[in-house]
C-alpha cells in the first residue's frame, strides 16, 4: 500500500490531507514500520512539493518512532542509525527541508542518548543558514548572510538543550567550535541581542564545568534562575550569577548525609575545582579561537570576563586577552 501511495506522490508532487490519512492507516496497521516502509516515507517526503500541514506532523511522528523507539537499541540512537538518518535528510551537507530539520531536532529531544555527531550536524545547519543566508531556515526570509535572528538563537538553544538530555552536561568542543564559527561570521552585524547571551554562557559552560559529573543537566547550567531568560546584553552580570547558580545546585547539607552522599559531594567539589581551572590547552584553544578573526566581539568579551572573575586558576596563555577586558 505504501508503494502505491509513494508512486502517486511522485507523480503529482502533492500530499493532501486524505493522503496523510492513508499513510497513517498503512503505518499504524500493524503498529510497526519496516525499513522498507521508512524508506518509502522518506521517498514521499522528498518527492512532495505541495503538502498538507498534517503531513509534517505525521512525518516527524512516524520517523521519530522508527528511529528512536523501533531501531535497535530502543530509546537510543547509535552511530550507525545516526548515519542512516543523515544519509536520508542530507543534501550536499545541508538538511533538505525545514520538516527534516524539525525531525532531526525532535529525535535529539526524544532519544535518551545520541552520538555527538548528530548534535553537531544540527548546529551546522543553523551555521549554514546564518553564514550563507540559504537553506530551509532561510526559505521565505529576507535576511542577508551574516546576520543571526531571534529564531536562529532559539533553534540553537533548542539543539543544545536537546543534546543535554542524554546527560551531556558540558558543551562539547565540536559544539563550541560551531558556535565560534557563527560568532565570527556575525561579529558587528545587527544580530538579535539574545545571541551574545547564549554564546557566552555556552562557551563558559564548555571551559568551566565539571563534565564528568551528571548530577545536574546542561539545561540547568544554561537556564538556571531568572537570568536565563534575560536577553539583555550584560558583559559580566550574568556570568557571575551563572557560576553561583551552578555551585548552589551542588550544595549538599552535611547534616544527616550518608557516607555515599559525602563521597559524592567531595568528589564533585574536587572535580569542580579542577574544572574551574583554565588549563594551558583550554586557554590556548580559547585564545586561538578569539584571535582567529582578529576581532574581540561583545560575546567573546563576556566570556572572558566570566573566566577572569570566576576561574580558580588561569593559564598565562589567556593573559593578553584578559588584559583587553580589564
Q: Of 69-78, 133-142, 230-239, which range is least confident?
A: 230-239
Quote the cell numbers at residue 321: 586577552
Q: Which of 164-173, 182-191, 312-321 has the highest mean pLDDT?
A: 182-191
Banded pLDDT at 43 (limits 50, 70, 90): very high
Transcribe 105-154 into DSSP letters.
Answer: HHHHHHSSB--HHHHHHHHHHHHHHHHHS-SGGGTT----TT---HHHHH
At residue 222, the pLDDT reads 58
Cα–Cα distance measured from residue 226 to residue 198, given in angstroms and rounded to the nearest whole number: 14
At residue 132, the pLDDT reads 87
Banded pLDDT at 124 (limits 50, 70, 90): very high
At residue 269, the pLDDT reads 47
Cα–Cα distance measured from residue 89 to residue 92, given in angstroms and rounded to the nearest whole number: 10
User: Is 121's pLDDT higher than 50?
Assistant: yes
Render pLDDT for 154-172 as a digit per residue (tens, 0 to 9). Answer: 999 999 988 866 666 788 9
Find the helix or strand (DSSP H, E) in which 39 lies: helix 35-47
Q: What is the pTM of this model?
A: 0.77
Banded pLDDT at 197 (limits 50, 70, 90): confident
| Helix, strand, coil abundance in the chain, percent, nearest 5 | 65, 5, 30
At residue 279, the pLDDT reads 87
Quote the cell numbers at residue 29: 496497521
Banded pLDDT at 94 (limits 50, 70, 90): confident
Helices (H), 165-313: 173-186, 194-208, 218-223, 237-249, 259-275, 280-291, 298-310
User: Is 53's pLDDT higher than 90?
Assistant: yes
First to last CA, the chain: 68
* 3-state DSSP assignment of residue 318: helix
Amino acid at each position: 500500500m505504501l508503494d502505491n501511495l509513494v508512486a502517486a506522490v511522485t507523480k503529482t508532487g502533492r500530499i493532501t490531507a486524505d493522503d496523510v490519512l492513508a499513510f497513517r492507516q498503512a503505518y499504524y496497521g500493524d503498529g510497526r514500520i519496516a525499513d522498507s516502509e521508512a524508506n518509502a516515507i522518506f521517498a514521499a517526503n522528498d518527492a512532495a512539493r505541495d503538502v498538507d500541514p498534517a503531513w509534517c506532523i505525521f512525518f516527524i511522528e512516524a520517523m521519530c518512532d522508527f528511529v528512536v523507539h523501533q531501531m535497535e537499541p530502543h530509546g537510543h540512537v547509535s552511530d550507525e542509525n545516526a548515519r542512516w538518518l543523515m544519509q536520508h535528510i542530507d543534501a550536499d551537507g545541508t538538511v533538505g527541508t525545514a520538516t527534516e530539520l524539525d525531525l532531526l531536532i525532535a529525535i535529539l529531544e526524544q532519544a535518551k542518548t545520541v552520538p555527538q555527531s548528530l548534535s553537531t550536524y544540527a548546529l551546522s545547519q543553523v551555521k549554514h543558514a546564518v553564514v550563507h543566508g540559504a537553506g530551509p531556515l532561510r526559505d521565505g526570509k529576507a535576511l542577508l548572510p551574516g546576520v543571526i535572528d531571534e529564531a536562529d538563537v532559539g533553534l540553537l538553544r533548542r539543539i543544545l538543550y536537546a543534546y543535554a538530555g542524554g546527560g551531556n552536561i558540558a558543551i562539547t568542543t565540536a559544539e563550541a567550535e560551531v558556535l565560534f564559527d557563527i560568532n565570527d561570521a556575525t561579529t558587528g552585524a545587527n544580530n538579535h541581542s539574545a545571541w551574545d547571551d547564549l554564546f557566552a554562557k555556552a562557551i563558559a559552560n564548555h571551559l568551566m564545568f565539571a563534565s564528568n559529573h551528571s548530577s545536574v543537566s546542561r539545561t540547568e547550567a544554561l537556564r538556571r534562575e531568572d537570568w536565563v531568560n534575560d536577553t539583555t546584553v550584560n558583559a559580566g552580570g550574568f556570568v557571575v550569577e551563572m557560576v553561583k547558580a551552578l555551585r548552589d545546585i551542588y550544595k549538599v547539607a552535611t547534616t544527616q548525609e550518608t557516607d555515599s552522599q559525602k563521597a559524592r559531594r567531595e568528589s564533585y567539589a574536587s572535580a569542580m575545582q579542577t574544572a574551574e581551572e583554565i588549563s594551558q590547552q583550554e586557554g590556548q584553544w580559547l585564545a586561538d579561537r578569539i584571535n582567529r578573526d582578529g576581532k574581540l566581539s561583545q560575546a567573546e568579551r563576556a566570556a572572558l570576563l566570566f573566566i577572569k572573575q570566576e576561574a580558580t586558576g588561569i593559564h598565562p596563555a589567556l593573559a593578553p586577552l584578559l588584559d583587553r577586558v580589564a
